[in-house]
C-alpha cells in the first residue's frame, strides 16, 4: 500500500496537470499517476505542442505560458501565413494551413476563435483575430514538472492505474500496475478515455449519439461508432542541402489509403522547423481496424506524406523529418455520462442562452469533426461548461477532467482543446479540494464558491472578458 492521499489524479495530460496543480496549491495532499514515462499526455507524447485560439484559457495555461517565456526559444505566438483556401498569385501555394511565429502577437490575442462563418470565407478575420501559441514539448514537460513540484504534488510516472475498489459510488483505492494500492479521499479521472470511470462501472459512450438522443441538429439519424479522426504528428527541421528524402523500401509514393494525400496544418516551432499535423492520418474505421498496428501504419503514411510534400512543394526539400511522435494523437475516445451532458445546443446557444449557474470553464472552439461528417461549424460566442459535466453519474467522490468528460460527441469536438482541458482540470482540482473541506459529495460542491475561487485565480467565466482580467493579462505579459 502506498501512502494515502487526499486527492489521487490519474493521467498527466493537460487535464491532469491542471487538476494536480490546482489541488496541490489548494493544500490537498495530491498524487498524480501517469502510465507513460513522461508527463504531458497528448501535448508531449503525441506532439500536439500548439494551442489553437480559444476563449477562457486565462488561468493555469497562462501561467504555464509565462513560465515557458522565461526560457529562450521555448514558446511563441503565431498567426496565419498561407492557406490552401486563400491562394495568392504572389506567394507559393501551401498544402494546407501555414502558421508563422509572429512577435507582434501576445497571449491575449490567442483567446478568441468565435465570430466567423468559416475559414474559407473569412480570411481577414482569421488573419486579424485567430492566433495561437506554439511551444517546445520537452520544455513544456519540464516546466509542468517544476510547477507540480512547487505545488507539492507527488508524481508517479511509468505506472498505470489498472483498477479501483469502489462501493456505492464511492471509490476507496486504486490498483496500480506495479501491484501497489493507493488510498485517497477523492479521485479525478484525467485519462482522456475515462479509464478510471469505466473501471468503477460508470456509464460510458463511444461514437456519435443519434439525433433523437439530445436533439442535436448535426447528429446522425442513428447512433454511429464514428469518432473524430487521428493524426500522427511529425516535426521537420531545416537541412543543409535541399533534396527529396528517399522513401524506405515497401512504402509507395502514391497515397494508398484515400483519394489524395491529406492537407497539413504546419506550425513554425520556436526552435526551428515546422510541427506537421496531417489532417488526418487515419479515420475512425481504420483506428478500430488497425488496433495495435495503428502507429506503424500511420508512420508509413507520414513518410509517404512527407515525400509527397517534398516532391510537390520544393520549399520542403530544405527540411528533413527530425521526429515522429511516439504516440498517435487520438482526438476522441470513450466519454463518461455525467450529471449533465454538454451538447450542440450549448455550443450553438452560447453563454447568453445557457441557463446554468455552475459554469466553471468557457470555450469557443468550433464544432470540429475531422473526417466523416466533418467540417467545422463556428460559434458566435463562447459557451460554458457546467461543473456537472465533470461529475460522473452515480458517483460520489470522483470527477472526470479530460476530453472524456460529460460531452456529446459533437460537444466534445468543440471542447477538447488542450487549454480547455487544463481549465477543466483547474476547476476539478479546486472543486475536489473544496469537497474535502466541506465533507460533501462532488455533486454538492458549492459551485458559487468554486466559481468565486476560479475568478480569484483569473479564470474567465464571463463573456466579454472583464476589463480587470484583460488588464491583468496585459500587465503580466508585459512585466
Ligand atoms: C492530432 C491532434 C491535434 C490537435 N491539435 C490541437 C491544437 O492545435 N490545439 C489544441 O489546443 N488542442 C489540439 N488537440 C486536442 C488536444 O491536444 C487534446 O484534446 C488534449 O491535449 C487532451 O488532453 P487530456 O488531458 O484530455 O488527455 P491526454 O493529453 O490524452 O492525457 C491523458 C493522459 O492519461 C494517461 N493515462 C491514460 N490511461 C491511464 C492509466 N490507466 N493510468 C495512468 N495514466 C493513464 C495517458 O498516458 C495521458 O498522459 C489536438 C489533438 C490531436 C489528437
Q: Where are the domains of the chain?
A: 5-47+139-222+332-478, 230-330
Q: Which residue among 12, 13, 330, 389 has the greatest number of ligand 1 atoms within 8 angstroms of its CB, and so is best to mutate?
A: 13
Residue 194 CA to residue 205 CA, distance in Å, equals 10
CATH 3.50.50.60 given to domain 5-47+139-222+332-478:
yes
Instruction: Convert 363-391 to b/e letters by CB count within 10 Å (16 or more is b).
Output: bbbbbbbbbeebebbbbebbbbbbbbbbb
Q: Which stretches of the chain score pLDDT less than 50?
A: none
The pLDDT of residue 278 is 96
Pocket test for ligand 1, best of 199, 418, 424 (most atoms within 8 A of CB): 418
Q: What is the pLDDT of residue 479?
A: 85
How far does the centroid of ligand 1 lie from the alpha carbon of residue 46, in Å?
8
Number of Cβ within a 10 Å radius of residue 308: 19
Interval between CA 318 and ligand 1 midpoint (Å) = 31
The residue written with cell numbers 468503477 in the block is 200
**31 with 190: CB under 8 angstroms?**
no
Q: Write the pLDDT tens digit of every residue in 255-267.
A: 999 999 999 999 9
Kindly give, in sequence order, each residue whose CB lies less than 8 Å from that of residue 10, ignoring residues fewer than 6 positions away. 16, 33, 161, 174, 187, 188, 189, 190, 191, 195, 196
Instruction: Tell me which residue has its CA closest to atom 14 in ligand 1.
Output: 417
The pLDDT of residue 377: 87
In terms of DSSP bridges, do strands 161-167 and 359-363 run parallel, antiparallel, or are they unpaired? unpaired
Q: Please, which residues have CB within 8 angstroms of residue 225's CB and are 6 or more apart in sequence?
A: 206, 207, 208, 284, 288
Q: What is the position in ligand 1's atom list of the atom closest to the CA of 196?
A: 41
Give yes or no for residue 321 CB within 6 A of ligand 1: no
Distance between alpha carbon 198 and the CA centroid of its chain, in Å? 20
pLDDT of residue 452: 98
- So what's the pLDDT on residue 373? 52
Q: What is the reported pTM?
A: 0.98
> How far apart, in whole angstroms, are the C-alpha atoms of residue 285 and residue 249?
26
Residues 439, 170 contacting (CB under 8 angstroms): no
Q: What is the CB neighbour count within 10 angstroms for residue 37?
A: 10
Check pocket membership of 198 for ligand 1, CB cut-off 6 A: no
Nearest atom of ligand 1 to the alpha carbon of 425: 25
Ligand 1 contact via 59 beta carbon (within 6 Å): no
Buried/exposed code over 97-125 (b: 16+ C-beta within 10 A; e: otherwise): bbbebbeebbbbbbbbbbebeebeebeeb
The answer to whether the CB of 459 falls within 8 A of the CB of 58 is yes
Q: Give the residue from 431, 423, 463 showing the smallest Cα distance to 61.
A: 423
- The answer to whether residues 250 and 269 touch, using CB atoms and an 8 Å cutoff, is no
Residue nearest to atom 27 of ligand 1 (CA): 192
Distance, CA 192 to ligand 1 centroid (Å)?
Answer: 6
pLDDT of residue 1: 77
DSSP 3-state of 125: helix
H-helix or E-strand containing 438?
Answer: helix 418-438
d(CA 424, CA 417): 11
**pLDDT score at 286:** 96
Would you call 410 helix, strand, or coil by DSSP? helix
- Dihedral sign (CA 120, 122, 123, 125): negative
Q: Which helix (H) or strand (E) holds 166?
A: strand 161-167
Q: Which three cell numbers stand for residue 362?
A: 468557457
Q: Rounded distance, CA 27 to CA 228, Å?
A: 38
Amino acid at each position: 500500500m502506498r501512502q494515502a492521499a487526499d486527492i489521487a489524479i490519474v493521467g498527466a495530460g493537460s487535464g491532469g496537470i491542471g487538476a494536480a496543480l490546482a489541488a496541490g496549491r489548494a493544500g490537498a495532499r495530491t498524487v498524480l499517476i501517469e502510465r507513460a514515462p513522461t508527463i504531458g499526455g497528448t501535448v508531449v507524447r503525441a506532439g500536439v505542442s500548439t494551442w489553437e485560439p480559444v476563449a477562457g484559457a486565462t488561468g493555469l495555461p497562462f501561467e504555464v505560458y509565462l513560465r515557458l517565456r522565461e526560457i529562450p526559444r521555448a514558446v511563441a505566438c503565431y498567426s496565419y501565413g498561407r492557406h490552401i483556401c486563400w491562394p495568392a498569385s504572389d506567394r507559393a501555394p501551401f498544402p494546407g494551413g501555414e502558421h508563422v511565429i509572429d512577435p507582434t502577437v501576445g497571449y491575449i490575442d490567442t483567446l478568441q476563435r468565435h465570430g466567423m462563418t468559416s475559414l474559407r470565407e473569412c480570411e481577414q478575420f482569421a488573419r486579424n483575430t485567430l492566433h495561437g501559441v506554439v511551444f517546445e514539448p520537452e520544455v513544456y514537460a519540464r516546466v509542468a514538472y517544476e510547477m507540480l513540484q512547487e505545488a507539492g504534488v507527488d508524481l508517479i510516472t511509468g505506472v498505470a492505474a489498472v483498477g479501483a475498489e469502489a462501493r456505492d459510488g464511492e471509490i476507496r483505492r486504486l490498483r496500480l500496475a506495479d501491484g501497489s494500492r493507493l488510498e485517497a479521499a477523492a479521485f479525478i479521472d484525467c485519462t482522456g478515455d475515462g479509464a478510471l470511470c469505466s473501471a468503477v462501472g460508470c456509464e460510458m459512450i463511444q461514437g456519435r449519439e443519434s439525433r433523437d438522443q439530445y436533439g442535436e441538429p448535426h447528429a446522425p439519424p442513428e447512433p454511429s461508432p464514428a469518432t473524430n479522426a487521428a493524426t500522427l504528428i511529425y516535426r521537420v527541421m531545416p537541412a543543409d542541402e535541399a533534396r527529396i528524402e528517399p522513401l524506405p523500401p515497401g512504402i509507395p509514393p502514391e497515397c494508398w489509403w484515400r483519394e489524395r494525400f491529406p492537407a497539413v496544418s504546419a506550425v513554425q516551432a520556436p526552435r526551428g522547423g515546422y510541427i506537421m499535423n496531417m489532417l488526418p492520418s487515419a479515420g475512425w474505421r481504420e483506428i478500430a481496424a488497425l488496433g495495435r498496428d495503428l502507429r506503424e501504419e500511420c508512420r508509413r503514411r507520414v513518410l509517404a506524406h512527407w515525400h509527397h510534400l517534398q516532391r510537390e512543394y520544393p520549399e520542403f526539400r530544405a527540411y528533413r523529418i527530425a521526429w515522429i511522435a511516439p504516440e498517435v494523437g487520438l482526438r476522441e475516445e470513450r466519454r463518461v455520462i455525467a450529471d449533465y451532458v454538454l451538447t450542440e445546443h450549448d455550443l450553438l446557444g452560447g453563454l447568453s442562452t445557457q441557463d446554468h449557474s455552475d459554469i466553471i470553464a468557457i470555450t469557443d472552439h468550433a464544432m470540429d469533426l475531422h473526417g466523416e461528417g466533418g467540417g467545422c461549424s463556428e460559434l458566435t460566442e463562447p459557451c460554458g461548461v457546467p461543473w456537472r459535466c465533470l461529475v460522473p453519474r452515480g458517483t460520489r467522490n470522483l470527477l472526470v477532467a479530460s476530453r472524456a468528460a460529460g460531452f456529446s460527441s459533437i460537444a466534445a469536438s468543440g471542447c477538447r482543446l488542450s487549454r480547455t482541458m487544463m481549465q477543466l482540470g483547474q476547476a476539478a482540482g479546486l472543486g475536489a479540494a473544496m469537497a474535502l473541506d466541506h465533507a460533501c459529495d462532488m455533486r454538492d460542491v458549492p459551485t458559487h464558491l468554486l466559481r468565486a475561487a476560479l475568478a480569484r485565480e483569473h479564470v474567465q467565466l464571463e463573456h466579454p472578458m472583464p476589463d480587470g482580467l484583460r488588464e491583468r493579462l496585459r500587465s503580466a505579459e508585459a512585466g
